[in-house]
Amino acid sequence: MFDTVITQGDVVTPNGVEALDIAIRDGKIAALLARGTEVEATETIDAAGKMILPGAVDIHFHCRAPAYPERGDFATETRAAAAGGVTTIFEMPISKPCCATGDVFRMRKSLAERDAYVNYGLYAAPGLLDPAEIEDMVSEGAIGFKIFMTEAPAGRDDEFEGLCLPDVPDLYQALKLVAQTGLVCAVHAENNPLLRWHTDQLKAAGRNDVASHNESRPPHVEALAIATLLTLNETIGANLHIAHLSAAEPLAVFRRFKRTGSTASAETCPHYLFFTEADLERVGPYAKINPPLRQASDQVALWEGLADGSLMAITTDHSPFTVEEKERARTDIWRTPPGAPGVEELVLGVMDAALKGRLSVPQAVKLISTNGARRFGIYPQKGAILAGSDADLVIFDPAATTTIHEDMLFSQAKACDKLYQGMTFQGKIAQTILNGKPIFKDGALIGAAGDGQFVRPDPARVSKEF
């Protein structure tokens, strides 16, 4: 006797797309059965014509709770995740105060426990360089670490304290500390002195137009940071992960280190794959993101990086802000914080690309779910449809289409989601299932705050091969 059986679907497993029925008991996948196998279950979901995907694992996510509830919190932003088919988020440590101590970690964990609609891991910031605090956060179950190689954005020092290590000796010490934990450390890789210099030059020339943001952080800012980071790590051997790699030049440097034995991994984000600098002109400050949107030639390079496995994950870097914060930069681009929402378009965007032949469906699933779970040590609990895995699933309708408009979105920052406004994707999230229970169905949220469960990594399962 099972709780639920999902019948007639095309199930995307690590072996490919298979005609299977999925039997669920106690929140887990109890069995994968040949299609049409007679079983007893309390609920039957008919998924004829649909694909069943493992729920997406978004390893780069921001809601920042409890820092700025007007921007979003664990409830509002994980609702958006549920609607987007993302069943596990890894929340970055930027908050107020920054998540750099065991006490802050525990406070954020209990907030998420109360508010989250989807499963969640929490990053820790190691930059206070305090071994006892790092040990405390690891024993609390930190999913990994995050470091910025840049200084904190102007006026936001408290949100980033313990996170920003623009000075190489500090970075060196932090890498040694995180290496001892065996967990993954994600790094925001931009060279601080170089981007400061570019920014100062532009400001001195009186520039504050939209394009000046991109000019202040050209691709070599990212490439140089990756070279510094991976050179330092050659003798340290931490499990490094490059966040939001955005362009051809840093990708080339990353590949060079991979060829000589680097075990670092790297992600890119949908906004670099689907948009360019031209979109910054179109939607203005709403497309101000770090690193910035790039050129069409960079997009080509990133798709190649995904195809050859250099880039192993696509993550959202979902970043909610308010319309006021974005609008005040209409006449002065320096005046808005960087970031845009995007968790509601991750599965749609990547599956649209798959359905249109840009990559295969199993490859799409690896990039948005499996590989992130493997990298951070939560596979096969998450990231795959296998007997014994958690029943975090997306019932995806490849025959339908989805056109993004603000009033269908759930993020508190939906009015800032201008990049995707009006875009039509092939495919639709018909249903999101979390721990065996439907939480989103036919455009409506049916889950509850507190449905999400804390996700803890196993350092022995942290994967280096993709």
Size of site (CB under 5 A) for Zn ion: 1
Instruction: Write out the binding residues for Zn ion, residues 27-46 only, by CB under 5 A.
Output: none
> Considering beta carbons, is residue 77 or 317 the nearer one to Zn ion?
317
| Whether 50 contacts 396, CB under 8 Å | yes
- The nearest distance, CB 44 to Zn ion, in angstroms, is 40
**Maximum C-alpha span of the chain:** 73
91 touches Zn ion (CB under 5 A): no
Which residue shows structure tokens 């931490």? 238
How far is it, in rounded angstroms, from Cα 55 to Cα 69?
26
Whole-number Å distance between alpha carbons of 186 and 168 = 16
Q: Which two tokens stand for residue 250?
A: 């840093």
Cβ distance to Zn ion smaller for residue 317 or 344: 317
Closest to Zn ion by CB, 62 or 109? 62
Give the nearest distance from C-beta 118 to Zn ion in angstroms: 18
Which segments of 50-143 are extended strands (E)? 51-54, 56-61, 86-91, 119-124
- Least Å from the CB of residue 78 to Zn ion: 16
242 close to 260: Cβ distance less than 8 angstroms: no
| Of residues 317 and 390, the one with the C-beta less far from Zn ion | 317
- SS3 per-residue string spanning 126-176: CCCCCHHHHHHHHHCCCCEEEEECCCCCCCCHHHHCCCECCCHHHHHHHHH
C-alpha distances (whole Å) from 415 to each of 326, 338, 391, 421 are 10, 15, 32, 9
CA distance 60 to 239: 16
Cβ closest to Zn ion, residue 92 vs residue 111: 92
Nearest residue (CB) to Zn ion, 50 versus 375: 375
Nearer CB in complex with Zn ion: 339/436: 339
Closest residue by beta carbon to Zn ion? 317
Choose the stretch contacting Zn ion; rule: CB under 5 A; options: 47-55, 193-201, 206-214, 309-317: 309-317
Is residue 159 within the footprint of Zn ion (CB under 5 A)? Answer: no
Task: Name the minimum Å distance from CB 157 to Zn ion.
Answer: 17
For the record, the structure tokens of 355 come out as 């359905």
424 C-beta neighbours (distance < 10 Å), count: 10
Q: Name the pairing type of β-strands 184-188 and 119-124.
A: unpaired
Nearest distance in Å: CB 62, Zn ion: 6
Residue with tokens 């670099």: 272
Using the contact rule CB under 5 A, the part of the chain among 20-28, 278-286, 310-318, 362-370 near Zn ion is 310-318
Q: Considering the complex, state which of residue 413 and residue 430 has its C-beta at the smaller distance from Zn ion.
A: 413
Residue 293 Cβ vs Zn ion, minimum distance, rounded to whole Å: 15
| Residue 392 near Zn ion by CB under 5 A | no
**Residue 317, interface with Zn ion (CB under 5 A)?**
yes
- Asked if 190 interacts with Zn ion (CB under 5 A), we say no
Measured from the CB atom, the residue of 273 and 439 that comes closer to Zn ion is 273
What's the Rg (C-alpha) of the chain? Answer: 21
Task: Tell me how far apart the alpha carbons of residues 156 and 317 are, in angstroms, rounded to a whole number.
Answer: 18
CB of 324 to Zn ion, least distance (A): 21
CB 270, CB 346: distance < 8 Å: yes
Min dist. Cβ of residue 241 to Zn ion (A): 12
Token pair 């949908």 is at which residue?
A: 270
| Closest CB to Zn ion among residues 267, 317 | 317
Q: d(Cα 359, Cα 351) in Å, to the nearest integer?
A: 9
Region near Zn ion per CB under 5 A, out of 79-87, 165-173, 209-217, 311-319 = 311-319
Closest distance to Zn ion from the beta carbon of 57 (Å): 16
Stretch of 6-14, 264-272, 312-320, 444-452 lying at the interface with Zn ion (CB under 5 A) = 312-320
Q: Which stretch binds Zn ion (CB under 5 A): 27-35, 160-168, 262-270, 314-322?
A: 314-322
User: Measured from the CB of residue 92, what is the shortest distance to Zn ion in angstroms?
Assistant: 5
Determine the angle formed by the axes of helices 168-179 and 131-139, rounding to 10 degrees. Answer: 40
List residues binding Zn ion (CB under 5 A).
317
